[in-house]
Amino acid sequence: MSLKSMASLIAVLTAIAVGFGPRPAAAATSPGVPCSDLAPLTFEGNTTITAATTVRGGMLTTPANQTLSNLPEFCRVIGVSKPTADSHITFEVWLPVTTWNGKFLSSGEGGFAGVLNYTRSGLDGGLDELLRRGYATASTDTGHVSSDELWAIGHPERVVDYAYRAKHLVTVAAKGLIAAFYGKPPDHSYFSSCSNGGRQGLIEMQRYAEDYDGVVVGAPWAFQSHSAAGMVWTAQALAVPGASIPATKLPAIQAAAIAACDRIDGLADGLIEDPRKCNFDPSVLLCTTGDNNTCLTKAQVDAVKKLYTGPSNPRTGEKLFPGWTPGSEGGWANLGTSRLPQAYFGSLVFENQKWDFKSFDFDKDMAAADAKIGAMANAISTDFSAAKARGVKVIMYHGWNDAVLQPEYTPQYYEQVAAANGGVDTTKDFMRLFMVPGMQHCYAGPGATSFGGVGQQIPPVRDAAHDVQTALEAWVEQGVAPNQIVATKYANDAAATTAIRSTRLLCPYPQVPKYKGSGDRADAASFQCVAP
């Protein structure tokens, strides 16, 4: 390391030691250090850098043997955090050399994580696409590898890392590396992710409000313990003799639900605008002249009713979580075989690899899960006072056709946040929710489902009207809150598709899009946001 680099590094480390605000003037004038000189840096949580190299040539092969192309030159930093003797949190931070836009945008990690989010294969939200857009970015395995399904058994500190600690430590390290490499902290720090990544975003604001200036929260697995219990409820309902529903019957169920509820919003478009208003009774599909793909047996009708209803406590009658929404049936093929509840209860809660979902008690086992894991991993706090004080802004979204995480809880949670923060009129000053008709889990589905979220097709225009991340930045940096977002429906949901089939207006909850009465129904301009 040269004397000049050493002096620069000392200046930056001094800035790091006194902490990070959004734009500390003192650090902004410090020269940066070369990529290779980042290796000596250490950060909170016993975080060290294991490699720092410059990637040229536009190509990179990831540890998962993914070939990434069309990349700008960047500094690739690999590190590990070991806050406890049982912790091993791997992460990477990517720093564009000449194309940095001055901002940090962290990726998130879905499901139980265990792997870095290098790419979404031509879709939005991976490290590669964020790098191409000019952001410094980061991702982490949160302290375990996805190939180990039993990672939590006997490793309570790894559960803490996954629940909340890893994302914070990696964020601290990423911001420190940015300050060192560029000679100044990021002008603004953002987070955008979906599913478990959405939960991570909420946890960050609830526990570490200083980490980010703005957060995009997609389809959050917020009430993790109760959502997983809902999946167990589903598996138990479908395990009743004769109750299993073949995938070949799902189109008939979905078609009947849409036929019953499509016109509730006054527009026949093949979508259920708000499934909570739908009172579809699957009994209308009861077989009368033999079993076939257009009807349901009595056992299957009963199972479908349970899937719509969701779990409840058998002792108190308390409803524990919403069920699946009418209109989402096309995604039900894997409901009874999902590994999420097995991994959550078998590994994290009961630490028993032989745990059987059929034994789950929705009274005492639910309480045990809430106490052991829910207390640290559920992102259901309504206290955003620290985030509000910093001016943090939040955009949430969830698709009504989600058949992975029950979508109805998200507006319930938003209403709880609003109730605790002076009502919707004051809550919308820092947090807004957009529900998406026809969108499945995070992306895809029969509706207009591309607006800049993780895993979605890249929107046709990167502006605040069409891209949720750009809308968030306009809110944080210019004070322009998103009053609507235009979602795009491509000819299909493949990354290579560029032909636009339609656009649709998304509105801040509780507003809904309403057809103006004239104009192209496939054009968002023919709709306006109105009170429900």
The predicted model gives 280-290 an average pLDDT of 96
Q: Which of 195, 227, 450, 526 is catalytic?
A: 195
Rounded to an integer, what distance in angstroms lies between the CA atom of residue 522 and that of residue 135? 33
DSSP 445-461: SSS--BSS-TTSPPPSS
pLDDT at 40 over 70: yes
Is the CB of residue 218 less than 8 Å from the CB of residue 193? Answer: yes
Rounded to an integer, what distance in angstroms lies between the CA atom of residue 126 and that of residue 117? 6
Q: Band of the pLDDT at 9, cuts 50, 70, 90? A: low
pTM, two decimal places? 0.94
Task: Of 9-18, 201-210, 466-475, give the lowest mean pLDDT range.
Answer: 9-18
pLDDT at 473 over 60: yes
Q: Which of 274, 402, 467, 493 is catalytic?
A: 402
Q: Which of 188, 226, 398, 441 is catalytic?
A: 441
Tokens describing residue 169: 């430590």
pLDDT at 18 over 50: no
Helix (H) or strand (E) segment spanning residue 61: strand 60-61
- Say whether 493 is catalytic: no
Non-local CB neighbours of 476 within 8 Å, separated by 6+ positions: 188, 190, 213, 214, 391, 392, 393
Rounded to an integer, what distance in angstroms lies between the CA atom of residue 214 and that of residue 188? 8
What are 323-368's pLDDT values in tens digits?
999 999 999 999 988 888 999 999 999 999 999 999 999 999 999 9
Tokens describing residue 326: 């009418």
- Say whether 402 is catalytic: yes
Tokens describing residue 398: 């969830």
Tokens describing residue 203: 């946890």
Separation in Å, CA 138 to CA 107, 114, 173, 359, 411: 6, 14, 10, 40, 29
- Say whether 195 is catalytic: yes
Q: Band of the pLDDT at 149, cuts 50, 70, 90? A: confident
What are 391-420's pLDDT values in tens digits?
999 999 999 999 999 999 999 999 999 999
Rounded to an integer, what distance in angstroms lies between the CA atom of residue 132 and that of residue 226? 38
Rounded to an integer, what distance in angstroms lies between the CA atom of residue 261 and that of residue 486? 24
The predicted model gives 287-310 an average pLDDT of 97
